[in-house]
Amino acid sequence: MNGQRAQELSLSSKTKKVFFNGKRVYIDNVFQQVGVATIHYDDKPNKIEGVPVTSLTEE
């Protein structure tokens, strides 16, 4: 995924299926300048981490 698409998904009112390492996640913020997104896991909403946007996939 690229930074622009990650940004679109993070701002969308519609829920899209996004995955990181095979696990469903939600995108909280996108920092396009550095290519990083903060995410939280579907099953662990309090676990937030920064990941490269290129490692995110959309179903």
Domain residue spans of the chain: 3-58
Instruction: Output the pLDDT for position 13.
Output: 80
DSSP SS3 for 50: strand
pLDDT string in tens for the chain (59-residue length)? 999 999 999 998 888 899 999 999 999 999 999 999 999 998 998 999 999 999 999 98
3-58 CATH fold: SH3 type barrels. (2.30.30)
pTM, entire model: 0.87
Pair 50, 14: CB distance under 8 Å:
no
Q: How many CA atoms lie within 13 A of 12 on its CB side?
A: 14
Instruction: Output the pLDDT for position 34.
Output: 96
Tokens of 18: 């996004």
Sequence letter at residue 47: K
DSSP SS3 for 44: strand
